[in-house]
Amino acid sequence: MGIDWQHMSEADKFKAVYKRNIKRYGADGLLKYLELRGFFEAPASTKYHGAYPGGLVEHSNNVFRWLFQIATAADCERNRDKEPEEQTAQFSVETLAIVALLHDVCKMDEYHRDETGIYKRYTDFPFGHGEKSVILITQYMDLTPEEMLAIRWHMGGFDHATKGGCYDMNSAYNKTKLAPMLHIADMAATHLTEGAAQ
């Protein structure tokens, strides 16, 4: 029986993709942690894309859809001169699901409404955007080096480290194509699918 994606909530879509594709040890515990910490009710930002309850899970789903399309196109390009039996996917669907669905787990407890109802950013664990996501995930589930680099550098040139002259993002993007692909998927979801709040 097929899944009726059209009539599912964003939280149920996330959980369906997560459970179907992420089989790594600790994945169940991580999903329970996300539920307890309010991931599925959190906004994606204070005033930009997804600045409403549930915006974070909707954004994560959109990033997964974009990343899957980008990875599929990249595989076609990489395999264009190969015989059909020699063609391979560069990244597993599990890896794509992990980095796309979990890249922003750092946001699940950062945005709180003030007395006027406006979201403000506050964190009791100020560790940096991508780094915080990697740390939170690896408390439950192992990540590959490529997955860590992709999540760490998914902000691209918007990452504060690059503004200070850090060249590690370029090194990460040269080391694994997953990192720039996740950044592109994040930007496409943010600006093409969601758009800024009006």
Listed range (32-41, 72-81, 176-185) with the worst mean pLDDT: 72-81
Provide the H-helix boundaries in 22-128: 27-36, 55-78, 93-102
> Is the pTM of the predicted complex or chain greater than 0.85?
yes
* Cα 40 to Cα 10, 75, 81, 145, 184, distances in angstroms: 8, 32, 43, 27, 23
Cα-Cα-Cα-Cα dihedral of 71, 74, 78, 79, to 10°? 70
Give the span between the Cα atoms of 181 and 84, in whole angstroms.
24
For residue 194, CA distances in Å to 56, 142, 188 come to: 11, 30, 9
Domain edges within the chain: 10-194
CATH number of 10-194: 1.10.3210
104-119: pLDDT as tens digits: 998 888 766 677 766 6
Six-digit token string for 149: 């680099």
What would the mean pLDDT of 169-191 be, rounded to a whole number? 87
Q: Give the pLDDT confidence score for residue 150 in this predicted structure.
A: 92
Burial class (CB in 10 A: 0-12, 13-18, 19+), 133: buried
192 φ, ψ (degrees, to nearest 5):
-100, -40
Query: pLDDT by residue (tens digit) across 110-146?
Result: 766 677 766 666 667 666 778 889 999 999 999 999 9
